[in-house]
Chain A
Amino acid sequence: MGEIPILKIRDCLLVSIQVDMHDRLAMALQDDLTQRIVEDRARGVMIDISALEIVDSFIGRMLNNIAAMSRVLDAVTVVVGMRPAVAITLVELGLTLTGVRTALNVDKGLEMIRGIIDRGEREDDRRDR
């Protein structure tokens, strides 16, 4: 397992899914990421799905779970690069991915993560004062 590499860039983890995932691989990624968030004290997780030709309910559930788990571990998850055909299909399938933040590409995703982390820190400062 653990066939999908997880890259660390400063305080963010980056995963680019480049293979047609079977279900066990999706589950393994979910576990690996959760562990890495804690080990690396990551504040952000970016999942690039631009190579995915489909997102079905199983992969959708995995994305939802990763977002929920990272939120509990004080990290922000952003899913980037969804193909238009995948987006159209997801909506018709009935999968709304509530709770999953999305951005158009890796650049926008990083910006979004930075923005959320910085906002969070400012709020913490205000509370501390």
Chain B
Amino acid sequence: MIVETDETLPVRTSDDVVRVRQAVRARAVAAGFSLVDQTKIITAASEIARNTVDYGGGGTLRVETLRNGQRRGVRLTFADQGPGIADLALAMTDGYTSGKGLGLGLSGAKRLVNEFNVTSAPGQGTVVMLARWK
């Protein structure tokens, strides 16, 4: 697997969430994603970016474009140094929220991508990786 592009963006404010959507769109278009695939990964990115701002106290997003033979993909890695997630299984449940949202962020984003991984522990921050392949 080859990493074709690699960039890191700040994810601290709600304006950054908009910039994340724009950056992910640009990469998904460049990777030749269909309109539906673009929409799915941008929406997933928007959900996780908002979590990073609201619950993680801000962090970063690493956007990579990947090539694996003929397949191209976009991988997103959100990282924050926030309080972390105590019960990952619970946080991944549809409708569960510790805040004021709908509780669809993590579970919904997972359904929109091909690869999804969360690493977190209380006090250790949270890293969410999402990837979608063309």
Which residues on A are within 8 Å of B, measured CB to CB? 20-24, 53-58, 60-61, 83-86, 88-89, 92-95
Chain B residues with CB under 8 A of A58:
46, 50, 101
The B interface, classified by DSSP as helix, strand, loop or mixed, is helix
Chain B, interface size: which category?
20 to 34
From B15, B42, B107, contact of A94 by CB (8 A):
B107
Is the beta-carbon distance between A54 and B39 smaller than 8 angstroms? yes
**Contacts A/B (CB < 8 Å), 29 sampled:** A20-B21, A20-B22, A22-B15, A23-B14, A23-B17, A24-B14, A53-B21, A53-B25, A53-B39, A53-B42, A54-B39, A56-B46, A58-B46, A60-B102, A61-B101, A84-B36, A85-B35, A86-B39, A88-B36, A88-B39, A88-B40, A89-B36, A92-B40, A92-B111, A93-B43, A93-B47, A93-B104, A93-B108, A94-B107
Chain A residues with CB under 8 A of B47:
56-57, 93
